[in-house]
Amino acid sequence: MKSYPFDLQQKVALITGGSRGLGKAMALALATAGARVAVASRHLPTCEATAEELRSQTGRDALAVACDVTKPDQIHRMVDTVLEQWGQIDILINNAGINIRQPMETFSLETWQQIMDTNITGPFLCCQAVAPHMKARRSGRIIMIGSIMGEVGLPHRVPYCASKGAIHLMTKALAIEWAPYNITVNAIAPGPFMTDLNAQARQDSEYFRFLADRVPLGRRFGDPEEIGGLAVFLASDASRFITGAIIPVDGGWLAQ
Ligand code: NDP
């Protein structure tokens, strides 16, 4: 009998920013599909709490790892920790990201750099760190978390939009470079979701309405669990002929 192509049993996933928000939702989805999942972020206690939730909700093993993706040495330690624990990394989700909203001329160079270090350099270094392992095994799934803001702009988000546009092109360039190694590289481009990243929108009803009104499917924000299905698909054998794709999960925002 053929195995179910969405099944992630025997797979190991590493998710940066997996402690909360969309990263946590994807961690839960992947664990539910059978994967062992390592969740990483700057705060180990939050990662540990999430790993415990994954274990209790799915019965799968989970690992908490402290890692600031703006620190190259910590990225290498994170990858080594997962390999020492489980001996393999099949799926890397580059999800950790920040957004700081201000008028263009008020951004300091330091803030610009902080956004770039987290949103672009972090994923770049994480891909480099898993490269020897995935290339040697001639197998891997890399999922970048881009944004609809990598395709279209909104005011007060110049560094964020620039970083997400770069992630979308990094996805395509790397997909081509690593295709000969059977490593697929795809990006999910989320629309607005109810996470801490959008704390401002949760408090400001006018701003919330402004964003939600741009979502044709229900005039609402996404629920984090609505990103899980695509993450499982892109991590699984079902997507083995897909690489270099930027796929929106945005309730139709980008279709307009
Ligand atoms: P949250 O703010 O809810 O969560 C961000 C996660 O990233 C946390 O786990 C945080 O943990 C971690 N993180 C932040 N900085 C670092 C760092 N330097 N090193 C390691 N981990 C870090 O954000 P979302 O879940 O909403 O966003 C996840 C991704 O989705 C981001 O890339 C974001 O740009 C993207 N996205 C989100 C949208 C939305 O509407 N929510 C829309 C489009 C894209 P800790 O603080 O412990 O480090």
Average pLDDT over residues 169-181: 98
231, pLDDT greater than 70: yes
Distance CA 216, CA 48 (A): 37
From 125, 195, 223, 249, give the residue whose CB has the most ligand 1 atoms within 8 Å, as the site to mutate. 195
Average pLDDT over residues 232-240: 98
Structure tokens at 98: 């920040």
The pLDDT confidence band at residue 117, using thresholds 50, 70 and 90, is: very high
Indicate the burial class of 176 (C-beta count within 10 angstroms; 0-12, 13-18, 19 or more).
exposed
- Tell me if residue 160 is catalytic: yes
Q: Other C-beta atoms within 10 Å of 140: how many?
A: 21
Q: Tell me the CATH number at 159.
A: 3.40.50.720
| Long-range contacts of the stretch 192-196 (C-beta < 8 A, 24+) | 192/221, 192/222, 192/250, 192/253, 193/21, 193/22, 193/221, 193/222, 193/223, 193/224, 193/226, 193/227, 194/221, 194/222, 194/223, 194/224, 195/20, 195/21, 195/22, 195/224, 196/20, 196/21
Average pLDDT over residues 124-152: 98
76 Cβ neighbours under 8 A, 6+ residues apart: 129
81, pLDDT greater than 80: yes
The pLDDT confidence band at residue 3, using thresholds 50, 70 and 90, is: confident
Q: What percent of the chain has pLDDT over 90?
A: 96
Distance CA 159, CA 104 (A): 9
- pLDDT at 42 (0 to 100): 98
102 Cβ neighbours under 8 A, 6+ residues apart: 111, 156
The pLDDT confidence band at residue 179, using thresholds 50, 70 and 90, is: very high
What is the CB < 6 Å shell around ligand 1? 16-17, 19-23, 41-43, 46, 67-70, 95-99, 118, 145, 147, 190, 192-193, 195-198
The answer to whether residue 125 sits within a structural domain is: yes
Q: Which of 10, 97, 5, 13 is nearest to 54 (CA)?
A: 13
The answer to whether residue 132 sits within a structural domain is: yes
2, pLDDT greater than 90: no
- 201-229: per-residue pLDDT in tens? 888 999 999 999 999 999 999 999 999 99
The answer to whether residue 7 sits within a structural domain is: no
Average pLDDT over residues 12-18: 99
**Are the C-beta atoms of residues 95 and 189 closer than 8 Å to each other?**
no
The answer to whether residue 57 sits within a structural domain is: yes
The answer to whether residue 6 sits within a structural domain is: no
46, pLDDT greater than 90: yes
| Helices and strands counted in the chain (H then E) | 9, 7
Classify residue 105 by its DSSP letter.
G
Distance 6 CA to ligand 1 centre (A): 25
Average pLDDT over residues 34-41: 98
Average pLDDT over residues 190-210: 92
The answer to whether residue 1 sits within a structural domain is: no
In three-state secondary structure terms, 94 is strand
The answer to whether residue 3 sits within a structural domain is: no
Q: What percent of the chain has pLDDT over 70?
A: 99
If one counts the domains in the chain, the total is: 1
Pick from 39-53, 163-177, 199-213, 231-245: least confident: 199-213
The answer to whether residue 114 sits within a structural domain is: yes
Chain-centroid distance, C-alpha 210: 25
Give the domain range for residue 225: 12-255
Mean pLDDT of the chain: 97
Atom 8, ligand 1: which residue's CA is nearest? 17
Distance CA 190, CA 206 (A): 21
The pLDDT confidence band at residue 120, using thresholds 50, 70 and 90, is: very high
The pLDDT confidence band at residue 1, using thresholds 50, 70 and 90, is: low
